[in-house]
Amino acid sequence: MFWPGEEGGIRCPFHGWKFDETGQCVEQPAEPSNLKMYERIKIKSYPTFERNGLIFAYLGEGEPPAVPDLDCFVAPESHVFSFKGLWECNWLQALEVGIDPAHASFLHRFLQDEDPKDSYGKQFRDTAANTDIPMTQLLREFPAPEIHVEDTDFGMRLIALRDLGNGNSHVRVTNQVFPCAITIPMSNEMTITQWHVPIDDENCYWVSMFTSFGAPVDKEKMRDQRMEEHTLPDYAPIKNKRNNYGYNRQEQETLTYTGMGMDINVHDQWACESMGAIQDRTKENLGTTDKAIAMHRRKLSKAMAVVVSEEDVSSLPLQIGKEQAREIRGPVSIDVIAPTKDWQGVWREKDADRRNACEWNASL
Ligand SMILES: [Fe+2]
């Protein structure tokens, strides 16, 4: 239920009581004005900040932590497009698909490669940063990545190496921003920072900020692309469990591994929802490709224990002050090809090239 907003606050549609941004009641139109009963009435309010099309609220106790200088927050509004979509599952399984670098080779397999020139606004359709090999071909032909996971000040960095067998490897750098976000490359020009936000235990929204290091974002085009797959006002996906995610057997033979269309969000949605709204984790079999998921669960368990025991939360990731917030930048999210024996520096170099050429201050 949305309460009608008006200058200086919101008004309850039941009797017209108006509340300001601190939660203080400031008007009760049906009560005698001389009683000033409203002065004693206050509802809970939460500090918020707005950035690049989204409103963030702090629901914890005390002062909110500072907002880190992530690219999606530092970039000007012209270079960020925000959108969201509803998934009918717990937020954690929605997040975990994003820190599983192996699944793209099967779940998002395209049986034909599109012209990368037609890739605007789409995931996995561009080439890696320094090659003309389409991402779809790389993922399809090299399904067994070697996965490295590092602890960072914002969460974790994941590096997936696919040995191309010719002395070079494909290096894909993605990130987990603690506790519920990922930052991943979408194309050479854009990254996606995606929060998985709980609605309740069995439903969540993915909320994405598409951030461009190149030209300003064509928001109309990106919105139109996504509105073909969603309905308002709930941003509910048109393909869902009630219509078998649009599964088409003929498409499965010729175009996509899932037969569920060209939008990779639908593939992920099927994977996350079809395991049940709350996955039974007593019956799962984590493999070596799940190492980031295992590490994230350990960090999450530790953080929950700290919160529940009411210990000082300042040691937890991103519980930061203003000075630290200026130091948490990026994070680097990129696809590159590098020599297999010496891949470490190449992704940083290619990312630095992109940042140096950027119209806004994307320096790390
Ligand atoms: Fe995926």
For residue 141, report the distance from its CA to the centre of ligand 1, in Å: 17
* 352: CB partners within 8 A, 6+ apart: 364
Ligand 1 mean position, distance from CA 191 (Å): 14
Residue 61 counted as domain residue: no
Percent of the chain exceeding pLDDT 70 equals 99
Q: Position 322: which residue type?
A: K
CA of 128 to the centre of ligand 1 (A): 17
Instruction: Give 2's pLDDT tier (boundaries 50, 70, 90).
Output: low
Question: Are 225 and 265 within 8 A, CB to CB?
Answer: no
Kindly state whether residue 53 falls inside one of the protein's structural domains.
no
pLDDT digit string, tens, across residues 26-35: 999 999 988 8
Q: What is the mean pLDDT of residues 288-296?
A: 96
Q: Quick one: average pLDDT of 347-356?
A: 96
pLDDT digits (tens, 9 = 90+) for 104-123: 999 999 998 888 778 788 88
- Among left, alpha and beta (phi > 0; psi -120 to 50; other), residue 178 is beta
Question: What whole-number distance in Å separates Cα of residue 227 and Cα of residue 237?
Answer: 9
Q: Report angle CA 164, 168, 171 to the nearest 5 degrees.
A: 85
For the chain, percent of residues with pLDDT exceeding 90: 85
- Number of domains, the chain: 2
Give me the pLDDT at residue 122, please. 82
CA of 185 from ligand 1 middle (Å) equals 12
Residues 35 and 155 in one domain: no
State the DSSP H helix or E strand holding residue 302, giving kind and residue range, or none if neither.
helix 291-308
Model confidence at 337: pLDDT above 80: yes
Q: Domain check: are 34 and 159 in the same one?
A: no
Q: Are residues 31 and 168 in the same domain?
A: no
Measured in Å, residue 66 CA sits from the centre of ligand 1 at 30
Domain contains 58: no
Question: What would the mean pLDDT of 333-339 be, rounded to a whole number?
Answer: 94
The answer for residues whose C-beta is within 8 angstroms of residue 258's C-beta and 6 or more apart is 107, 245, 247, 252, 266, 267, 270
Gap between the Cα atoms of 139 and 123, Å rounded: 12
Would you state the pLDDT for residue 1?
55
Q: Which two tokens stand for residue 323?
A: 């000075």
Count CB atoms within 10 A of the CB of residue 265: 18
Q: How far is the CA of 31 from the centre of ligand 1 (A)?
A: 55
Confidence of residue 265 (pLDDT cuts 50, 70, 90): very high
Q: Quote the ligand 1 centre to 167 CA distance (angstroms).
A: 28
How high is the pLDDT of residue 127?
Answer: 82
Whether residue 48 lies inside any domain: the answer is: no
Same domain, 30 and 117: no
Q: Give domain status of residue 96, yes or no.
A: yes
Which pLDDT score is estimated for 145? 96
Nearest residue to 175 via CA among 24, 347, 354, 338? 347
- The Cα–Cα gap between 161 and 149 comes to 11
Q: How far away, in angstroms, is 264 Cα from ligand 1 center?
A: 7
From ligand 1's centre to the CA of 100, what distance in Å? 8
Q: Is 62 within a domain?
A: no
Distance 24 CA to ligand 1 centre (A): 44
Q: What is the mean pLDDT of residues 294-306?
A: 95
Residue 33 has a pLDDT of 84
Closest CA to 101 of 150, 155, 172, 151: 172
Q: What pLDDT score was predicted for residue 54?
A: 96
Query: pLDDT tens digit string along 45-92?
Result: 999 999 999 999 999 888 899 999 999 999 999 999 999 999 999 999
Rounded average pLDDT over 233-240? 97
Mean pLDDT for all residues in the chain = 94
Per-residue pLDDT averaged across 324-336, rounded?
Answer: 95
Residues 178, 36 within the same domain: no
Establish if 299 belongs to a structural domain: yes
Shared domain for 102 and 20, answered yes or no, is: no
18 and 102 in a common domain? no
- Structure confidence by residue, pLDDT tens digits, 190-223: 999 999 999 999 999 999 999 999 999 999 999 9
Same domain, 250 and 145: yes
81 and 33 in a common domain: no
**Range of the structural domain that residue 11 is part of:** 5-40
Say how many residues make up the chain. 364
Query: In the block, which residue shows the tokens 């009411």?
Result: 310
CA-to-CA distance for 280 and 284, rounded, in angstroms?
Answer: 7
DSSP per residue, 95-147: HHHTT-TTGGGTTT-BSSPPPGGG-TT-TT-SB-TT--SBHHHHHHH----EE
Query: Does a structural domain hold residue 92?
Result: yes
Q: 319 with 226, same domain?
A: yes
The CA 123 to ligand 1 mean position distance, Å, reads: 9
Residues 79 and 197 in one domain: yes
For residue 125, pLDDT over 80 is answered with no
Are 153 and 211 part of one and the same domain? yes
